[in-house]
Amino acid sequence: MIDIAIIGGGPAGQAAARQTLGAGLSTTMIDEQARPGGQILRQPPAAFAVKGWMAGRLYRPLRRLLAQTEADIRLDWRGGTSVAGIERIEDHFRLTLSGAHGGTLLARRVLIAAGCYDMPVAMPGWTLPGVMSAGAVQTLLKSQQVVAGQPIVLLGSHPLLLVLATQLLDAGAEVAAVLMPQTYGRMARAVLPYLAGAIFTPGPLIAAGAAMARLRRAGVPMMMGARPIGFTGDGRLEAVDYAWRGQVQRIAAQAAAVSYGFLPQSDLPRQIGAAVRWARPAGGWETVCDGAMRSSIPGLYVAGETTGVAGADAAMAEGEIAGIAMALDAGVRPPSGMARAQARRARLQPFIDLLRAAADPGEVWPQATPETLLCRCEDISVAQVEATMAQLSPMADASAVKHRCRIGMGLCQGRSCEHALVRRIAAARGCDPDAVTPFRMRFPARPIPIDEIIG
Amino acid sequence: MTHEVLIIGGGLLGCAAAWHLARAGLAPRLIEARGINAGASGQNAGSLHFQIERRFLEPGASGQGADIVRLNRLAIEEWAGLEEQLSRPLDIHMHGGLMLAESEADLALLASKVARENELGLPTQLLSGAEARDLVPRLAPHVCGAAWLAREGHANPRILADAFAHAARASGAVIETDSRLLDLHRDGHGWQATIEQAGQISTARARHVILATGHWTARIAARMGLNIPLYLAPLMMSVTDRTAPFLPYLIQHVGKRLSMKQTDDGNMVIGGGWASAPQRMADGMPDLDAPPHLVPDNLRANLAVAASVLPCLRGRSLIRSWTGMTCISADQLPVVGQVPAAPGLYIAAGGSMFTLGPLLARMLARSIIERAMPEEIALFSAARFAHLNAFVVPS
Amino acid sequence: MSRIADGVTRPAPITVEIDGAMVPAHPGETLAAVMIAAGAYRMRDDRSGAPRGLLCNMGTCSECFVWIAMDGAWRRRRACLTLVSEGLCIATQEGQP
Ligand SMILES: Cc1cc2nc3c(=O)[nH]c(=O)nc-3n(C[C@H](O)[C@H](O)[C@H](O)COP(=O)(O)OP(=O)(O)OC[C@H]3O[C@@H](n4cnc5c(N)ncnc54)[C@H](O)[C@@H]3O)c2cc1C
Ligand SMILES: Cc1cc2nc3c(=O)[nH]c(=O)nc-3n(C[C@H](O)[C@H](O)[C@H](O)COP(=O)(O)OP(=O)(O)OC[C@H]3O[C@@H](n4cnc5c(N)ncnc54)[C@H](O)[C@@H]3O)c2cc1C
Ligand code: FES
C-alpha cells in the first residue's frame, strides 16, 4: 500500500508530487502518456531531440517543474498506463490499471489530476477523417513533431486557436484560415467585465495580441464572425463550410482543428461517486472540492482541469495546494506554503473568468442536422436521440435515454456525447443542465483488452 | 378514492402486471421510486434460461430443477407470443441455447440433466463437442459436449419493461415515476400506502397491493413485520466492444458460472452469476439503493471462464462492467402470489425473473382477477413459506 | 511529408505495416502519428462503413481504435497511445493476420 497515488502527470499532478515527495510520502504517478508533462507540455519521444522545444517564456515555470519531476528518483512514475477503475474500500483506495503497468494499486490517498479534453461538438461532417480537435492537432505537433495535414483550417470559439495557429506557422504548415464565430464586438463585450482584474496576469493577453499580429504578417485570414457550418469530403475531409456575412463559403482543407472549449475529465471522480457540478460556461462536469482540493470523498483530492478548466498556472497552484493538503491530512508536514499557494490560485481567477467568457460560444454554437451523429461510438444520430426523448417522460434522465437508444454506450463511455445529451434534456425540460442526472460512470474508464485482464 | 390494485415498483414484474390488470379493466396504479426499468430489470443479462440452470445442479439444490422445468415450459410459450401481444419488436431471440461441458465430469452432469429434462417434457438434446462446434465454430477445441435447447435464447432487457408500461398506460393504467412507497399498512379490508412524490407526501388506499419491488421486497415486508425468505444476490455483468455477428445462441456452462451472448449490435455480454460486493450502510447492512462494488477477482474469473470456451474473446476489449442486485429465495424457486399473513398483499420475486417475469406477472394478475392462485403456479406460491409468519401479529 | 524536419533529430527509421502497405516510422512515435504522417487518416470504419479518424489524440475518444497483429491474433488498441516498434502490423478493418 502506497501513501499517495496521483492520476495524471500534468502540471497539477507534478506540483502535488513535489509536495508529497518532499513530505516523505511514497508517491506513485500514473499517466496514459509515456512521459510526464500533461497536455500543455506533451513531450516528444525520449529518443527525439527537438531544438527549442516549447521555449516560450510562458512555459518556463512548467518546464522547470517538469525537469524537477523527471529528475526525482523518489517518484514512482508509471507512464503508458490508464487508470480504468477507482474504488474506495474501507479507509483506502483501489485503482485498476491497464497498459504498461496493469494490475491494481492500493493507496491511502488519491489525487485525480486527470486534466480536460477538447469538447466534441457535433456538426455535419464532423466524423470525417481529418476533422480533429485542436488539442489533437496541437499535441501531434508539439509531441510527435507532425503536422496533422495541410492546408489546415482552425475553427471554433476558443482563443487557444490563436496559439495553435502560430505553432503551426512556426512549423512551416499552411494555415488556410482561422474561423471564429464570435464577432470582435461580441468578444470584447464578453471579456470587458473581467479585463481590469486580469491585468495582473497580462502574459497570456500579450501572447494573444502577438499571435494575431503573427497571423496578419503570415497572411492567414483570421475571420471573426465566420460561423462554421460543417465539413465535406469523400471518405476524408476536403473542405470546410462556413457562413460569412450572410453567405455560405467553402474553403479547401486536408485537416481541420476544432475548438469550442474543454470539458473536465470526470469519469473517475464520478465512478467513485465524488460530487460534481455542471461546469460553466463550457459544460461537462467539474469535481467539487474545498479550498484545500479535498473532494466530497474522504481521502480523495482533485486538482487542475478536473476541478474546472482554468489553465496551466491554476493547475500548478491547485496541485501544490492538494499536495500540501495531502501531507497535512497524512499528518507528516507542518502546514506551510498553503496560504501562499491559495493566494496564487486566487490571483489567477480574473484571467480565468475572462478566458471562459471569451471562449463561450453562447448563441454562436454550431448547428447539428437531424442526420448528424451525436454519439460517435454507437453511431446514434440527433434524430434518433430526439425520437427517444420524445417517447420518454420529460423527467427521464440521461441514462434512461442511453438505455433506450444506446447513446453513450460505446467505447468512449459517453465522454464525447454526454454533454450534448445533457444540454438537450435540459433545454427540453427548460431547466439547468445541473438538474439533469448524467450517465452513471462505469468501470472501466478506458477500454481494457480482455487478454490483459485474464492474464 | 380506493384503488382496486396498487403496484409498487416499475420493473418488468410491475409493468407487466400493470398491463394484464389494465387489460382486465382494473385500472391499476403503479408507483415507481425512480424511473421505469431502473432496477434489475434494466440491468440483467437478458438470458432466457429454459434449461435447468447450473445453480439447480449445485449440491443442496435437490428437487427444484424439476419444478422449474414446468415453469420454464410455460415461459417458453409466453416469450414466443410476446412480440405479437405487445405488437412491437422486442429483440427477442429464441434461436437456441447451448450449455457447455469442458470435462468428463461436466459431461456426466449434462447427460443426467438432459435425461431429467426429457422426462419432464423439455426437449433438450445432448451434443458432442464436434456437433457443438458445428453450431458455433469458434468454440474451443476442448469443449467436449453441450446440451442444446432449440428455443432458448435472449432478449433485450433495456426495452421490455418500457413496452409493458407503454401498453399498460394505453389500457388505462396510471404509472407514476419518482414516486416512492414510504409506508404500507392494513386499513380495514384494504391497504393504506404513504407515498412520496417530488417531495410531497400523500396517502392512497387500495384493495390489493403488489410489491413488485425486486430485491427490496424482503426489506419492505420486514418493515411491515412480515418474513419473506428472499436473500440478496449482488451480481455483475460485462460487455465487450462490437464484433461481426457470429453467435446467435445463448451460451451457458454446466460446471462453471457463465452466461454469454451476442447482442444485435454485436457486443458480447458476459455474466453468469458472479458476485459483486454490496455497499454497506452505517449499521453494516447492505445498502439496497447503491450499486455494489465490482470484485476484481470475480471479473477476472468470469472473463477467464468465457474466454476458455470462446478463445476469440481474448481479442476483444472490455468496455463496460456493471453491477446490480436481485434476490433468490430460500429454495431458489420464485415466490409468487398472496402472502397468507397479509391478505390482499401480493409479491413475485426470487429467481431468474427476467426469464419468468412475463409469465409470472400474468399469473399474478390472474390471481387477483380470479381471486385464486392459478393451478400452474401453485408450487411457487408464497404460501409455502407461511410458517415463517406464524408468529406475526397482523398490523 | 508532414514530419517537421527543421531542428528535429529522430532515431533511424523502422518499417511498420498498415493495411498491407509498408510505412516508415521512427521509434518513439505513436502509431497515430505514423499513420497521419503517411496520409492514412482512416483508422476504423463505423457501422455504416464510413471511415473514421483521429479525434482527440489523447486516449479519450477511442476513434483511433485499430487492429494490431499480436501473437498470431488481432488485438484492438488506441493508435494514439500505441508506440510503434519494428515489424508492427496493423489493420483498420478486422481481418486475418
Ligand atoms: C490537448 C490539449 C492541449 C492544450 N494546450 C494548451 C495550451 O497550449 N496552452 C494552455 O494554456 N493550455 C492548454 N491546454 C489546457 C491544459 O489542459 C492545461 O493548461 C494544463 O495542461 C492542465 O494541467 P492538468 O495537470 O490539470 O491536466 P493535464 O495537463 O491535462 O494532465 C492530465 C494528465 O492526466 C492523464 N490522464 C487523464 N485521464 C487518465 C486516466 N484515466 N489514466 C491515466 N492518465 C490519465 C492525461 O494523460 C494527462 O497527461 C490544453 C489542453 C488540452 C486537452
Ligand atoms: C446483473 C444481473 C443479471 C441478471 N441476469 C438475469 C438473466 O440473465 N436472466 C434472468 O431471467 N434474470 C436475470 N436476473 C434477474 C432479473 O433481472 C430480476 O429477477 C428481475 O429483473 C426482477 O424484476 P422486478 O421487476 O421484480 O425487479 P426490479 O427490476 O428490481 O424492479 C423493482 C422496482 O421497484 C422499485 N422500488 C423499490 N422500492 C420501491 C419503493 N419503496 N417505492 C416505489 N418503488 C420501489 C425499484 O426502483 C425498481 O425499479 C439478473 C439480475 C441481475 C442483477
Ligand atoms: S484519437 Fe481519441 S483515443 Fe485516440
Q: Are residues B131 and B267 in the same domain?
A: yes
CB contact under 8 A, C33 and A144: yes
Calpha distance A315→A306 (Å, rounded) = 9
Number of H helices, E strands in chain B: 10, 18
Residues 68-97 of C with CB under 8 A from B: 73-76, 94
The identity of residue A396, as a single letter, is A
CB contact under 8 A, A406 and B307: no
- Give exposure, B197-219, as e/b (b: 16+ Cβ within 10 Å): eeeeeeebebbbbbbbbbbbbbb
Q: How many residues does chain C have?
A: 97
- Beta strand extents in A312-382 (DSSP E only): 373-375, 380-381
Calpha distance A252→A232 (Å, rounded) = 9
Q: Nearest 5°: phi and psi at A144?
A: -85, -10
For chain A, the residues whose C-beta falls within 8 A of a C-beta of chain B are 85, 87, 89, 94, 96, 104, 378, 393, 395-397, 400, 403-404, 406, 409-411, 413, 440, 442-444, 447-451, 453-455
The nearest alpha carbon in chain A to C42 belongs to: A129
Here the contacts of C46-49 (C-beta below 8 Å, separation 24 or greater) are: C46/A127, C46/A373, C46/A376, C46/A379, C47/A378, C47/A379, C47/B242, C48/A379
State how far the alpha carbon of A256 is from the alpha carbons of A39, A127, A151, B204, C49, in Å: 19, 11, 9, 60, 22
User: pTM for the complete prediction?
Assistant: 0.94
- Which chain B residues are closer than 8 Å to A378 by Cβ? 265
Environment class of residue C80 by beta-carbon count within 10 Å: exposed (0-12), middle (13-18) or buried (19+)? Answer: buried
CA of B155 to the centre of ligand 1 (A): 42
DSSP code of residue B381: B
Nearest to A39 by CA among C29, C81, C57, C34: C57
Counting residues of chain A whose pLDDT is more than 70, the rounded percentage is: 99
Number of domains, chain B: 2
- Looking at the domain assignment, is residue B184 inside a domain? yes
Task: Kindly report the CATH number assigned to the domain that includes residue B129.
Answer: 3.30.9.10
Helix/strand/coil for A17:
helix
- Looking at the domain assignment, is residue B124 inside a domain? yes
Band of the pLDDT at C27, cuts 50, 70, 90?
very high
Band of the pLDDT at C97, cuts 50, 70, 90?
very low
The helix (run of H) or strand (run of E) holding residue A390 is: helix A382-391
Calpha distance B85→B292 (Å, rounded) = 35
Place of cell 494490431: C68
CB contact under 8 A, B299 and A453: yes
Q: Are residues B245 and B322 in the same domain?
A: yes
- Range among A86-90, A251-255, B351-355 rated most confident: A251-255
Question: How distant is the Cα of C50 from the closest Cα of chain B, in angstroms?
Answer: 16
The identity of residue B306, as a single letter, is A
What count of Cα atoms within 13 Å lies in the side-chain half-sphere of residue B54?
A: 20
User: pLDDT at residue C1 above 60?
Assistant: no
CA B156, B162, B163, B165 torsion: positive or negative? Answer: positive
Q: Are residues B223 and B359 in the same domain?
A: yes
DSSP code of residue A309: -
Helix/strand/coil for A242:
strand
Cell numbers given for B23:
387489460
Residues 4-63 of C with CB under 8 A from B: 47
User: pLDDT at residue A230 above 60?
Assistant: yes
The nearest alpha carbon in chain C to A267 belongs to: C60
- Looking at the domain assignment, is residue B53 inside a domain? no
Q: Are residues B313 and B340 in the same domain?
A: no
User: pLDDT at residue A201 above 90?
Assistant: no
Q: Are residues B34 and B181 in the same domain?
A: yes
- Which chain C residues are closer than 8 Å to B243 by Cβ? 94
The nearest alpha carbon in chain C to B265 belongs to: C47
CA of residue B169 relative to chain centroid, distance: 23
Q: Among A70-84, A141-155, A358-372, B359-373, whose mean pLDDT is lowest? A: A358-372
Question: How distant is the Cα of A103 from the closest Cα of chain B, in angstroms?
Answer: 10
Per-domain residue ranges for chain C?
A: 14-91
The nearest alpha carbon in chain A to C43 belongs to: A129
In the β-sheet with C73-78, what is the strand arrangement from edge to edge?
C21-25, C14-18, C89-91, C65-70, C73-78
Q: Assign 3-state DSSP to chain C and report helix, strand, coil percentages, each to 5.
A: 5, 35, 60
- Beta strand extents in A58-99 (DSSP E only): 76-78, 81-89, 92-99
Question: How distant is the Cα of C69 from the closest Cα of chain B, in angstroms?
Answer: 10
CA of B274 to the centre of ligand 2 (A): 16
Q: Are residues B296 and B338 in the same domain?
A: no
Cell numbers given for B295:
470484485
State how far the alpha carbon of A152 is from the alpha carbons of A233, A365, A447, C2, C34, in Å: 14, 21, 31, 12, 18
CA-nearest residue, atom 39 of ligand 1: A114
Q: Are residues B185 and B223 in the same domain?
A: yes
- Looking at the domain assignment, is residue B10 inside a domain? yes
CA-nearest residue, atom 7 of ligand 1: A40
Given the cut 0.95, state whether the ipTM is greater than it: yes
Q: Check: CATH 3.20.20.70 for A131-260?
A: no
Whether the CB-CB separation of A146 and A335 falls below 8 Å is answered with no
Q: Are residues B134 and B197 in the same domain?
A: no
Choose one of B329, B345, B366: the last residue of a domain.
Answer: B329
- What CATH number has the domain spanning C14-91? 3.10.20.440
Place of cell 495557429: A165
Ligand 2 pocket list (CB less than 6 A): B 8-14, 31-34, 38-41, 43-47, 49, 180-181, 212-214, 216, 235, 237, 259, 271, 324-326, 349, 352-355, 357
Q: Are residues B313 and B335 in the same domain?
A: no
Strand-strand pairing, B2-8 and B200-211 = parallel
**Could you name the CATH architecture of A2-118+263-336?**
3-Layer(bba) Sandwich (3.50)
Nearest to A250 by CA among A174, A169, A179, A149: A179
Q: Are residues B141 and B271 in the same domain?
A: yes
Nearest to A315 by CA among A337, A348, A283: A348
The nearest alpha carbon in chain C to B244 belongs to: C94
Q: ∠ CA C42-A163-A119 to the nearest 5 degrees?
A: 50
- Looking at the domain assignment, is residue B70 inside a domain? no
Q: What is the mean pLDDT of each run of 10 residues along chain B (395 residues)?
A: 95 98 97 95 95 80 79 96 92 96 96 93 97 98 98 94 95 95 94 95 97 98 95 97 95 97 96 95 94 93 98 95 96 94 95 95 96 91 91 72
Nearest to B163 by CA among B40, B10, B52, B275: B10
The identity of residue A327, as a single letter, is A
CA of residue C74 relative to chain centroid, distance: 14
Tell me, what's the pLDDT at B395? 59
Place of cell 493476420: C97
Select from A96, A395, A409 the Cβ nearest to the Cβ of B296: A96
Round the average pLDDT of chain A to a whole number and report it. Answer: 94
Cell numbers given for A91:
479507509
The ligand with the least distance to the CA atom of B45 is 2
Q: Among A207-221, A272-286, C53-67, whose mean pLDDT is lowest? A: A207-221
Select from B162, B313, B314 the Cβ nearest to the Cβ of A404: B162
Q: Are residues B307 and B236 in the same domain?
A: yes
Calpha distance B165→B211 (Å, rounded) = 16
The ligand with the least distance to the CA atom of A287 is 1
CA of residue A161 relative to chain centroid, distance: 14
Q: Which residues contact B70 (CB under 8 A, 6 or more apart)?
A: B120, B376, B379
Helix/strand/coil for B216:
helix
Choose one of B283, B309, B329: the last residue of a domain.
Answer: B329
User: pLDDT at residue A335 above 90?
Assistant: no
User: Residue B286, preceding bond cis, omega within 30 degrees?
Assistant: no
Q: Are residues B181 and B236 in the same domain?
A: no
- Looking at the domain assignment, is residue B58 inside a domain? no
- The best mutation among A18, A33, A39 to test binding of ligand 1, ranked by most ligand atoms within 8 Å of the C-beta, falls on A39
Environment class of residue A247 by beta-carbon count within 10 Å: exposed (0-12), middle (13-18) or buried (19+)? Answer: exposed
Nearest to B154 by CA among B95, B99, B100, B98: B95
Place of cell 410476446: B82
Q: Which domain holds residue B255?
A: 79-152+231-329
User: Phi-psi category of C43—alpha, beta or left, where left has phi over 0 and alpha has psi -120 to 50?
Assistant: alpha
